[in-house]
């Protein structure tokens, strides 16, 4: 896989990778994030990139098209080159539900991230724990592994 490319995998119909150049060709959104860092106080950054939900929709998640709320049982796991990872719910980033404008930033504070790979920026997070740099992989998974026919596993 190319440096800076992101693998899209999991419960999707279109597995594959997306390059930073591909991400830059998508509609771009600006978000400002601020969070409290235990060691350096409040940090503020501005990211530009495509919305995470739009990138993931292109991978065609395995939602049941006959059931509008089926997508609410899907989770999105984001992995960074340094091993840092975080999970978001689909309903959190879906504009029809919570609509958090999480972006895959290709620029940070005006600087191009390039080969370092995109950065997940989640507006509204207080401590910045889900700000993942150098993203290498994103997986979309249903919660089927957690539930079996409505019973706890």
Per-residue model confidence as pLDDT tens for the chain (153 residues): 566 799 999 999 999 999 999 999 999 999 999 988 777 788 899 999 999 999 999 999 999 989 989 999 999 999 999 999 999 999 999 999 999 999 999 999 999 988 788 999 999 888 888 999 999 999 999 998 787 665 655
pTM (two decimals): 0.90
Q: How confident is the model over 8-47, as pLDDT tens digits?
A: 999 999 999 999 999 999 999 999 999 887 777 888 999 9
Record the tokens describing residue 10, joined without a space: 């999991």
DSSP structure class, residue 76: E
Whether the CB-CB separation of 43 and 135 falls below 8 Å is answered with no
- Coil, strand, or helix at residue 95? coil
The domain ranges of the chain are 6-152
Distance CA 108, CA 49 (A): 9
Q: How far does Cα 100 stand from its chain's mean position? A: 11
**CATH code that applies to domain 6-152:** 3.90.420.10
| Biggest distance spanned by C-alpha atoms of the chain | 49
């Amino acid at each position: 896989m190319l440096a800076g490319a992101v693998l899209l995998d999991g419960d999707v119909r279109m597995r594959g990778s997306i390059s930073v150049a591909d991400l830059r060709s998508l509609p771009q959104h600006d978000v400002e994030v601020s969070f409290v860092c235990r060691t350096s106080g409040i940090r503020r950054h501005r990211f530009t990139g495509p919305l995470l939900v739009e990138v993931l929709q292109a991978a065609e998640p395995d939602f049941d098209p006959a059931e509008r709320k089926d997508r609410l049982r899907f989770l999105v796991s984001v992995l960074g080159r340094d091993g840092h990872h975080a999970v978001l719910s689909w309903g959190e980033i879906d504009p029809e539900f919570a609509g958090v404008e999480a972006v895959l930033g290709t620029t940070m504070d005006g600087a191009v991230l390039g080969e370092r790979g995109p950065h997940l920026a989640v507006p509204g997070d207080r401590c910045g724990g889900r700000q993942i740099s150098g993203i290498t992989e994103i997986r979309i998974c249903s919660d089927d592994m957690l539930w079996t026919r409505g019973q706890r596993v």
